[in-house]
Structure 1
Amino acid sequence: MEYTTLGRTGIRVSRMGLGGAPLGGDFGATSEKDAVDTVHAALDAGVTFFDTAPLYGRGESERRLGLALKGRRSEAVIATKAVMRGDAYTYDNTIKSVEQSLQRLQTDWIDLIQLHETEATTFQEASEGTLAAFQQLKQEGKVRAIGANGRNADTLALYLRTGLLDTAQTYCRYTLIDHTARELVFPLAREYGVAIINGSPLNMGVLADTPAPFLLNNPELLAEADRRMGLLDFLRKPEPHGLVEAAMRFSLTCQDIAVTLTGAASPDIVTQNAAYCDGRGLKDEELLRVLELFAGKPLY
């Protein structure tokens, strides 16, 4: 396992983190035992960064993570988000959301609190409400660092330019078939000293040949993804899910990314993915070929 410092926060983290959506059952039924065992397997593999949100499983992901970390809280860096989808991004809603997260997580502090889904609010509402609440919570010692999460680069850029963020989490924007985060998000993050967290390096399961259920309603997107994956046969291994290793290594060795998240709901998957966090990436010629194939071509 490789480790790094989370930007200017000084917080030391594993370069691979465990994404919490599968723990809450968002990608298929997951038992509480499997969720807890997966967290323990991640810890045992050297993973220290755990990313969740109230949205995942409507609180179940946070609750299960808190249960799994009982007695092992000191080994973990916990990142969660606010607010719950459907709620306004007001000051009061944000304070309430974080307090509820603290209870579910069974902890007195959150290492990284992130504004969830920047596209779901206006910049003004988020600045006057959620970001202001985050700063107050940081002064109170209930959170250690502040971030924002989003897929739209132009929207995320607004928050990067405030200078208030310690981290920015993008997802599905630095993968083998869509690496458009290189064009705006990464340069801005470097300029403002913001650490990048890369979510969904497997493009919501697409690169593992198991797309998330909600993507089945978008046949055009899946068809384009299949076309792009066909151009990556030079990276595919003969075993099932043959692009997973290349996809993980592509993200894990990117110097612009502090933490790459892996979504896993079983100990075997998280242990296998952790083995890819050894500093070995694609060959130079392979990397160049990938970057040339889809430059400036977002999948979504």
Structure 2
Amino acid sequence: MDPTGTIRLGRTNLQVTRLGLGTAPLGGLYDAVGDEAAVDTVRRAFDLGLRLFDTAPLYGAGLAERRLGRGLAGLDRDGYVLATKVGRMLVPRGTAANAVAQDFYVEDSGMEPVFDFSYDATLRSIDDSLRRLGVDRIDIAHIHDPDDHYPAALDGAYRALHDLREQGVIGAVSAGMNQSAMLTDFARDGDFDCFLLAGRYSLLDQGGLADLLPVAAAKGIAIIAGGVYNSGLLADPRPGATFDYVPASAELVARARRIGAVCARHQVPLAAAAIQFPFGHPAVASVAIGARSVAEIEENAAMFTHPIPSALWSELKAENLLREGVPTP
């Protein structure tokens, strides 16, 4: 597959590359990255032809947005698609009793996030992101993980983003979550252009196939697949590897290893199968993959282009590692 191939994002006028850069690692997820390495990673992604960049205020409490902005500085603003998220306002550390714990991020920006899906906070969040990124517009705005805040997100954040789209301030209204059920509710209750579905349409977990993906396909809502390595397990299936940001169970590790063994029999790296798998479904427009270094983004691009024979997918189904009927590339 060609990571630089472009496709129209749902019903919008945005053209996204099949592979995009996710920037959670650039905010210091699990390990420190530093400004220089982060900027180099963004630049290398652009040099490789990637034109979709996804970030969020939550990632390192502003670090990822600032570092992404530095990496994109000086490049043609019409030459890439930029996505960020709303639902977390950043406040100076220690000033809010209801601040959200940042246990996964190890670099200190001096700020910390607070949940706020209200209409006014959404408008402020977009303005704050524009300043951190150093750009004049956001192309895609995701409502970020409103798991326990659906009514507020629909009445506040969604209405604000809908209005910003009508005004031409943003190009696409979206929501990004690690679950498919609530995204399906959003698809039915609102007018969304795309969704970022993280971890629920992967080689290990096709939960989104049961609810979200059919609705998205019927409504013309594009899916950006994130978390295709399930936070590490499908990149390196070993004891201690993480699945959904916590240590994977022995059962999941064993299943990932069985998938890896099938891949090895076809001379295909497990990571290549993982990164290409989502494109079997017609609703999936792009995969956004995180990287913290030049080497990682280069490896991801290489995995995207690795040839995969159809016999590999057939064997995974024969071994009950993929259900019959699951679409494959």
TM-score (norm 1): 0.89
Contact 2:139–2:172 under 8 Å retained in 1 = yes
**Is residue 2:110 matched to residue 1:82?**
no
Q: 1:238 Cα deviation (Å)?
A: 11
Which runs of structure 2 are paired with 1:112-191 in the superposition (5 Å)? 112-122=140-150, 124-191=151-218
* 8 Å contact from structure 1 (residues 113, 146) kept in 2: yes
Question: 1:2 touches 1:14 (CA, 8 Å); kept in 2?
Answer: yes
| SS class of match (2:32) | coil
Contact 1:89 1:126 in 2 (8 A): yes
Counterpart CA distance in 2 for 1:2 and 1:172 is 23
> Residue 235 of structure 1: which of 263, 272, 275 is its match?
263
Report the equivalent of 1:255.
Answer: 282
- Name the CA distance, whole Å, in 1 between partners of 2:307 and 2:61: 36
Q: Which amino acid aligns with 1:76?
A: Y
CA distance in 1, matches of 2:281, 2:295: 24
Work out whether 1:69 is the aligned partner of 2:69: no
Asked which structure has the greater RCO (Cα within 8 Å, sep 6+), the reply is: 1
Q: Structure 2: how far apart are the matches of 1:253 and 1:209?
A: 23
Deviation at 1:41, TM superposition (A): 0.6
In 2 relative to 1, CA 237–267 (structure 1 residues): closer, same or farther, beyond 3 Å? farther
Which of 35, 55, 63 is 1:32 aligned to?
35
Is 1:201 aligned with 2:228?
yes
Q: 1:193 to 1:87 in 2, by over 3 A?
A: same
**Gapped runs of 5+ residues in structure 1?**
none
Question: Hey, what's the Cα distance between the residues in 1 that align with 2:281 and 2:307?
Answer: 8
> What does residue 300 of structure 2 align with?
273
Q: Displacement of 1:109 after TM fit? A: 0.7
1:290 to 294, 313, 316: 316
Q: CA offset at residue 136 of structure 1?
A: 2.0
Residue 10 of structure 1 is matched in structure 2 by 13
CA distance in structure 2 between the partners assigned to 1:215 and 1:195 by the alignment: 25
The letter of the residue matching 1:17 is G
One-letter amino acid of the counterpart of residue 293, structure 2: S
Question: Size of the alignment, in residue pairs?
Answer: 290
Larger deviation: 12-21 or 69-78? 69-78
Structure 2 residue runs without a partner (length 5+): 89-112, 325-329
Q: State percent identity of aligned pairs.
A: 34
Whether the 8 Å contact between 1:27 and 1:212 is mirrored in structure 2 is no
Bigger mean CA deviation after superposition, 148-157 or 14-23: 148-157
Q: Compute the displacement of 1:47 (Å).
A: 0.2
119, 125, 136: which one aligns with 1:91: 119
What is the letter of the counterpart of residue 285 of structure 1? A
CA distance in structure 2 between the partners assigned to 1:173 and 1:265 by the alignment: 22
Q: CA RMSD in A?
A: 2.4
Shift of 1:212: 4.8
- More helix per residue: 1
The structure 1 residue matched to 2:133, chosen from 105, 111, 114, is: 105
- The CA deviation string for residues 204-254 of structure 1, in whole angstroms up to 9 with x for no partner, is 0111127459845x4xx4322212112211114899x94212211223554
Of 21, 28, 48 in structure 1, the residue corresponding to residue 51 of structure 2 is 48
The offset of 1:175, in angstroms, is: 1.4
Structure 1 position 86, deviation (Å):
3.4
Task: Provide the TM-score with structure 2 as the length reference.
Answer: 0.81
Answer yes or no: is the 8 Å Cα contact 1:199–1:262 preserved in 2.
yes
Question: What is the DSSP-based 3-state SS (H/G/I as helix, E as strand, rest coil) of the residue aligned with 1:207?
Answer: coil
Paired letter, 1:56: Y
Query: Is the Cα contact below 8 Å between 1:174 and 1:182 reproduced in 2?
Result: yes
Query: What SS does the corresponding residue of 1:144 show, helix, strand or coil?
Result: strand
